[in-house]
Amino acid sequence: MTEMTKASLEGFRAELRAWLEENCPEEMRDGKRTEDGICWGGKNWVFTSEAQKLWLDRCAAKGYTVPRWPVEYGGAGLNRDQEKIFKEEMNRINARSPLESFGIWMLGPALLHFGSHEQKLHYLPPIARGEIRWCQGYSEPGAGSDLASVQTRGEDKGDHWLVNGQKIWTSYADKADWIFALVRTDREAPKHKGISFLLIDMEDPGVETRPIKMISGISPFCETFFTDVKVPKHQIVGEENKGWDVAKYLLTHEREMISGGAGGLTGTGRALGAVLKETMEEMDATLRADAMRCEIDTLAIGLTLERYKDQAEAGQGAGDASAMLKYMGTELNKQRHELMMSAGGSDALEWDGPLGNRAGDWLRTKANSIEGGTSEVMLSIVSRRVLGLPG
């Protein structure tokens, strides 16, 4: 890196730091990552405070909800080095993320890679502004880990497909405005072929959702039903019957997103060690050692994630290694919450006690090793495709 480049980056840091100090509301500087602190956006989103709305509006205007996306699609057009500085400065003031979205994490990268210019202009800026909330229509009752066995079908009707079938585990489908779904458009083709990647308006006639209550007591997952839903032909991403290519690409980003749950924070904006110290007057040696090990592993996976992002910048995506990241991230998240349960003692068993819903949060982590591909499937991918072990 040249001195001029270093100077340019330091200038960017100074400008960004000044902007954040001036524009991030004090209420948004608690680093909160729990459900009641997240802004999901969408047509029906109700802001928890004026500060939350102000923070989203200000960041969206600068492109900071999707800092790496091109400016013409609603982003800030930052390069990789600038993105690192952006994250560092956000962490420095403990700022909340202005917007969380499956549109940002999963659909956006797929559209940037496979979408037409018209699709990018149409769909990406509303995602960046938090105006449209998306959900993912992948898994079905008979197609979970074996995702290519999807049977939701689309019948060609000339200018549209007539879609019928069912999806399951569609997170927040009852709150989403649109869904990106895998639909079988050629029933005679081998199962990895004949699948198309369609974008469907959740308000279209024939779309129905039913929440599924989880062991944690909340219902983020849904069943989603399609009955004679008309989907215009222009709402396909990529080529007809080649949606599996889009699906695989998106899954890589989904697994990287889930692995990001090992980012070291507990949902309160503080590191694990700080929470455990606050919960227990005196931490026993075994718990202290387990906590230190978890913190070190968390730092390690964070650095690994950054390395893969740097490789992606150089044209080398994470590919099958995303399975390794997903496995480690979800296992670390479970370990972190188990340690918090141990530190909380009997108080942690309460659903609405002095420690909040720590028990519910702990139970929720169990789903992390199922969603996005089970841990067993991730280990199989790592063994065969990353390590090259015999089947």
Q: Which residues are known to be catalytic?
A: 254
Q: Are 191 and 121 in contact (CB under 8 A)?
A: no
Question: Rounded to the nearest 5°, which phi and psi values hold at 127?
Answer: -65, -45
Give me the residues paired with residue 265 across strands: 271
Q: Are 73 and 129 in contact (CB under 8 A)?
A: no
Burial (Cβ within 10 Å: 0-12, 13-18, ≥19) of residue 391: exposed
The end-to-end CA distance of the chain, in Å, is 44
Cβ neighbors of 157 (< 8 A, separation 6 or more) are: 230
What is the distance between the alpha carbons of residues 151 and 43, in angstroms, rounded to a whole number?
A: 30
Burial 86-124 (b: 16+ CB within 10 A, else e): beebbeeeebbbbbbbbbbbbbbbbbbebbeeebbeebb
What is the distance between the alpha carbons of residues 375 and 377, in angstroms, rounded to a whole number?
A: 5
Question: Residue for token digits 């994630």?
Answer: 305
Q: Are 176 and 237 in contact (CB under 8 A)?
A: no
Q: Helix or strand or coil: residue 235?
A: helix
Strand extents, DSSP E, 113-192: 134-137, 153-156, 160-168, 178-184
Range 268-271, long-range pairs (CB < 8 A, 24+ positions): 268/31, 268/32, 268/33, 268/34, 269/30, 269/31, 269/32, 269/33, 269/94, 269/96, 270/31, 271/295
Q: Are 141 and 166 in contact (CB under 8 A)?
A: yes
